[in-house]
Amino acid sequence: MKKRNIVVIGASTGGFEAIRQLIARLPADLDAAIFIVWHMSPDVTGILPQLINRQKTILATNAVDKEPIVMNRVYVAPPDRHLLLEQGVVRVTRGPKENRFRPAVDPLFRSAAYMYGPRVVGIVLSGGLDDGTAGLWAIKHRGGLAIVQQPEEAEVPSMPENALAAVQVDYCLSIAEIAALLVKLTAEPIQEVKQEDMKEQEKTEIEVRIALQDQALEQGVMKLGHLSPYACPECHGVLSAIQDGDIIRYRCHTGHAYSANSLLTSITENIEDSLWGAIRGVEESMILLNNLGDHYAENNQPKLAAMYFKKAQEAESRANIVRQAVLNHEQLTNDRISRQATEEDLTSSER
């Protein structure tokens, strides 16, 4: 009889220590395969397996494309590569970024749910924003179990909090409790679950194929949702809005994917970049206008020179206006907006 022996774990900031503690608490003979995505810079060497192996528990390795899946092994996504699961094998790809990351948690969770359904246990640990929420929803939708680290224990609680807000998770526990629960869950037989409807199954397959580096347009990315008014911050392609239960997320026709939160963060980051670009352009015109004014002054054309100097002063005034705008610009996330709303409520109640 099949067991819940496919364990997928997602983490970001603060997740390194959470992962280390979780694996350290598991028995060395755990009859399950564990797959981990931890957000990291593409330039960072994948040292997580080495540090896990110092604990002398379950053997951990950086995943290798198309290697067989074996029980009692920890597979870690290498830097700048998505980690995905196919039937019996691991896939390591350079598919489009999701939620601004590669590796990203959602592709791992989604592919595990698609291939292994109720055999999957998904775990979201410490991290910022909400990567892993949509993938955890897919795991639940296909009969798997969803576990979230207690936000009050997490170094950065955003990923657990967002998962709790959007997904009907099965357990919200401390790291120590998660480890004990995994020992129990991986030994239990699976109960029969209803099959996913064909439309949802097709949608999941399309997204898995995109992460596997298949061309998004050929795979039918435009069928995933309805066109939105937003452009992809990565490539400026049109984004389609995709609905997963109450979750709304976005994917462009080249394959990049965003949660609403990560899209908001990217857009507001790009606003600041655009404003600095505008300042640069205006200041370049100011420098050129002053240089031309000097040229005409040296050539005994004072009226023309004065007009160039006047235009340079006007450009400087415009640059100062834009500079003030960029200094007042706010980097927005759902978490920051929620905190500000809470602070306003507290301020109002104190009046």
Catalytic center residues = 12, 39, 131
Residue 191 CA to residue 338 CA, distance in Å, equals 39
Residue 289 CA to residue 309 CA, distance in Å, equals 7
Neighbours of 120 (CB within 10 A): 27
Residue 162 CA to residue 132 CA, distance in Å, equals 9
Could you tell me how many helices (H) and strands (E) the chain has, helices first? 11, 13
Number of residues assigned to the chain: 351
Kindly give the residue spans of alpha helices, DSSP state H, lying in 117-157: 133-141
- Three-state SS at 91: strand
Residue ranges of E strands in the chain: 6-11, 33-38, 60-62, 73-76, 82-86, 89-93, 120-124, 145-149, 171-173, 226-231, 238-244, 247-252, 257-259
Residue 265 CA to residue 245 CA, distance in Å, equals 22
